[in-house]
Amino acid sequence: MKILPVLSTVLALLMFACQSDSMASTIIRVAAQEASEPKFIAISQQGKPAIGGICVDIMRALEKVDPELKFVGDQTWQPRIRIDAGMNAGNIDAICGVQRITRNTSQYHFLDTVLFSVSYLLAVRADDDIDIQNWDDIRKLGDKGVILALHGFGIVDILEKMGGLKVDSGATSSLSNLNKLMAGRGRFYCHRSPGIKLSIQQAGLAKKIRLLAKPQLSEKFYMALSKTVPADQAKRISNALVALESSGELRRIFEKYPE
């Protein structure tokens, strides 16, 4: 009886099983952030509802660079507040596309690679002939210069930190804020580009709302991890992001999505 070949086969199978277990255990739990287009957008895939967008594309690209990484949960919508709660509770491991603001940096571990950069634009009603050059012009408007923003989003922190601005962050969707803008319940709606033009078009308000050229804000977005994520997993994700940035893939993914 040829024992050695049999033992070799058994050992090979055991090694494959161990590798498979290792691959299956490198799970990164995420969620699709509501009202965050084009980070996450509703799409149709083979005739069925699905979720795509910049962040989904980035996660799929990370899995190709490092096959041991597996991101799960990106096909489930959650509001930002619930994602934050899940991160702090250890139920979600990563959040894609967040800013280095105090609220975020105090809670999460940020990876160094910039995923993408955006500009924040101000939308006004098309029949509003206001001419704004800077943020001081808006401060001078007082209660007549209310800026609408999305609840729980980083832009709220940024605007409030600037001081002297009237910010209404009660809405949880761009559609709600655009409707509030049309109803005169705010003078401006501040949201990121890419994203804001698509929201205006989808709301059927392209002829009723215009975007101001000034002022604008530029912000960088990153991948943030829960502090419960093991260091070796964080390193794997970081290394894969560096590879995507070096190859130009992050830029190509971002440029796929219209403003």
Q: How confident is the model at residue 17 (pLDDT cuts 50, 70, 90)?
A: very low
Give the chain's length.
Answer: 259
Mean pLDDT of the chain: 91
22 residue type, one letter: S
- pLDDT value for 120: 97
- pLDDT value for 230: 96
Residue 226 · residue 90 · CB < 8 Å: yes
Q: How confident is the model at residue 241 (pLDDT cuts 50, 70, 90)?
A: very high
pLDDT for 207-234, tens place per residue?
999 999 999 999 999 999 999 999 999 9
- pLDDT value for 244: 98
Examine the pLDDT at 3 and tell me if it is beyond 70. no
Examine the pLDDT at 2 and tell me if it is beyond 70. no
Q: Which residues pair with 42 in a beta bridge?
A: 51
- Please state whether the peptide bond connecting residue 67 to the residue before it is cis, i.e. omega within 30 degrees of 0: no
Closest C-alpha among 64, 33, 39, 31 to residue 256:
39
133 residue type, one letter: Q
Q: What percent of the chain has pLDDT over 70?
A: 90
Classified as helix, coil or strand, 122 is strand
Q: What's the gap between Cα 111 and its chain centre? A: 14
Q: How confident is the model at residue 123 (pLDDT cuts 50, 70, 90)?
A: very high
Q: Do domains 3-117+220-255 and 118-218 have the same CATH topology?
A: yes
The CATH number assigned to the domain with range 3-117+220-255 reads 3.40.190.10
Examine the pLDDT at 60 and tell me if it is beyond 80. yes
- Domain ranges in the chain? 3-117+220-255, 118-218
147-150/167-171 β-pairing: parallel
What is the C-alpha separation between 108 and 16, in angstroms, rounded? 35
Return the ∠ at Cα 219 (arms to 213 and 225), rounded to 5°. 155
The average pLDDT across 88-115 equals 96
Q: What's the gap between Cα 219 and its chain centre? A: 12
What is the C-alpha separation between 11 and 16, in angstroms, rounded? 9
Q: How confident is the model at residue 18 (pLDDT cuts 50, 70, 90)?
A: very low
- pLDDT value for 258: 78
For residue 256, give Cα distances in angstroms to 46, 53, 246: 20, 9, 18
Number of Cβ atoms within 10 Å of the Cβ of 216: 13
Task: Say which CATH topology domain 118-218 has.
Answer: D-Maltodextrin-Binding Protein; domain 2 (3.40.190)
- pLDDT value for 218: 96
pLDDT for 158-208, tens place per residue?
999 999 999 999 999 999 999 999 999 999 999 999 999 999 999 999 999
What is the C-alpha separation between 149 and 178, in angstroms, rounded? 10
The average pLDDT across 247-253 equals 98
- pLDDT value for 259: 72
Angle between helices 231-247 and 54-65 (to 10 degrees): 100
Q: What percent of the chain has pLDDT over 90?
A: 88
The average pLDDT across 114-140 equals 97
What is the C-alpha separation between 153 and 193, in angstroms, rounded? 14
Q: How confident is the model at residue 25 (pLDDT cuts 50, 70, 90)?
A: low
